Structure 1
């Protein structure tokens, strides 16, 4: 066990199939609006220092899910800093039903990232800083690239949540519908999607997340050891906030407003977010582009070895080789 933890603070879940990366430190920090978030930092591995990867997760995820990916970044000479978004993982939950995903507005995730940058990255982690985000975290990363162009050198996102397929009223219409229902008293009630079902050993077949059984079961084992990390369906308020943010990403102004170099990876078999929406945005960005990974499901960082190899080849070309 190589995690260094405050006995009075947060801890990391440890299971045999998911070893903690070398040199882990874990703690809490507090946002400007007084929300307590769990974070972890990991020093670089061998070789020349290349800076720090700031890793931000998708909805329902938690630090432990990325241990293998953290170790991959460390082996490339990067330190890694990551945290659990408000309302999920080991961070403060926001409503009484702690198993439901809730946020007042999507901009609250920007408050989390901004506080993390000021409280943890700048004082404790070596520059330069690179932002890596998945799914919901990918959308939050793109907005960060608009709001502060000096915070990160480059942004690398996996299956960013810039749109959802099969929505009857489009992103803006769904934002209005969910917002109206939330304002009518349903704000903290769940709205379900197939991809939000809890992972179990029995649910691997046909799952939309990964084709890799061992990595799928690894998350199951972590949640068995620490069930309080689990998050279920989103609420109507979360959905309204997310649809509004996705609608913003589809506007004519959004692609040109992102001035930081960006690489977006899209999964060819994604059933959670819209691959077509990622492709459309990638073609319209001035400082960004996109790559579609054949055969990949939504969670490319926990996909099979062949798909992960493609993900890290893209990462190395876009970030590792640029940081040498």
Structure 2
């Protein structure tokens, strides 16, 4: 039955509307939503999709501006592969508390606050006595958060997959110039917390202009979710967020050698959001420390754009098969 289910990944877009308004909607109605208090008293929203029959769990760390609401299909697929699924909305986005009056600004005081929130979430809702195996799956910014968490708490997770992780950010200008701009803005509080140059409030972009996925169905569904629930919307990052993100990316590289958790790094061949060169450097650092990532290098998906988990069926199915096969190797835990 599982093999038949996995085969369905190859042809879901053919009847995507029927799937989204039928099986997926029925599944999502079973969710349990909750909230806990994160760093500095900020409310952090999360969702759980659980079954008494499951003794394995996948915790998902999402990307910048994303909400767990967007991850319904990913949760559906992992759940039907035998995993409980838990997803937390990072501070400043989704159904978690915002830090600025303008809720569209992507902002964080300290990138480490993301990591500390994630640690609190893991400690409270992913207990070892509940699950035989505990896995983690991350996308983009969530990959940097997860990598820093694993460096700090190496025994929490049995295996982890990083999808297009934000270990380096593509910038619209040379790095040296970007740092000059960021340091200049950092010294001016009123400017520091405004949108970084070239960005602004959330707005729906047409599919043909997107750099995230080749799947028209999944892209349009994501837009509808954010259109239907305006409180989920987050636009461009602040200057301070960009600065914190760059510092965090360097922190990931500095700590790569300390990661001992089995890791697979999935790389999007056509990524225009993160710097793929950083993935190779990360894998080399892990290998030099004696605990190489899966395949000893990034596992590249040629033709995939940044949002691997929301790509067209053929690419997404390849990614999901690799993810679930990788986790299955650690089911003995």
Q: Tell me the TM-score normalised to structure 2 length.
A: 0.84
1:181 positional shift = 1.1
| SS of the residue 1:281 aligns to | helix
Residues 266-304 of structure 1: per-residue CA shift (max 9 Å, x gap): 100000111222123223323324201011000011101
- For 2:209 and 2:163, how far apart are their aligned partners in 1? 21
Aligned partner (choices 326, 330, 333) of residue 318 of structure 1: 326
Contact preservation (8 Å) 2:105, 2:201: no
- Where does 1:43-82 land on structure 2 (aligned, <5 Å)? 43-44=50-51, 49-82=54-87
* Residues 1:198 and 1:173: Cα distance change in structure 2 (over 3 Å): same
- Where does 1:75-224 land on structure 2 (aligned, <5 Å)? 75-122=80-127, 126-166=131-171, 168-170=173-175, 174=178, 177-185=181-189, 186-192=191-197, 198=202, 200=204, 203-224=206-227
* Residues 1:116 and 1:168: Cα distance change in structure 2 (over 3 Å): same
Residues 46-99 of structure 1: per-residue CA shift (max 9 Å, x gap): xx6351101010000001111000011111110011110000001101111111
1:125 positional shift = 5.4
Aligned partner (choices 13, 22, 32) of residue 25 of structure 1: 32
Match of 2:250?
Answer: 247
- For 1:120 and 1:175, how far apart are their aligned partners in 2? 38
Match of 1:228?
Answer: 231
Residues 124-170 of structure 1: per-residue CA shift (max 9 Å, x gap): 95342211110000111111111111111111110000012356453
2:303 aligned with 1:295:
yes
1:41 positional shift = 0.4
- For 1:248 and 1:169, how far apart are their aligned partners in 2? 20
| SS of the residue 1:81 aligns to | strand
- For 1:216 and 1:88, how far apart are their aligned partners in 2? 19
1:44 positional shift = 4.2
Structure having the higher helix fraction is 2
Match of 1:280?
Answer: 281
| SS of the residue 1:33 aligns to | helix
- For 1:316 and 1:16, how far apart are their aligned partners in 2? 25
Count residues in correspondence: 303
- For 1:166 and 1:135, how far apart are their aligned partners in 2? 15
- For 1:165 and 1:23, how far apart are their aligned partners in 2? 39
* Residues 1:94 and 1:320: Cα distance change in structure 2 (over 3 Å): same
| SS of the residue 1:122 aligns to | coil
Q: Tell me the TM-score normalised to structure 1 length.
A: 0.86
- For 1:51 and 1:144, how far apart are their aligned partners in 2? 20
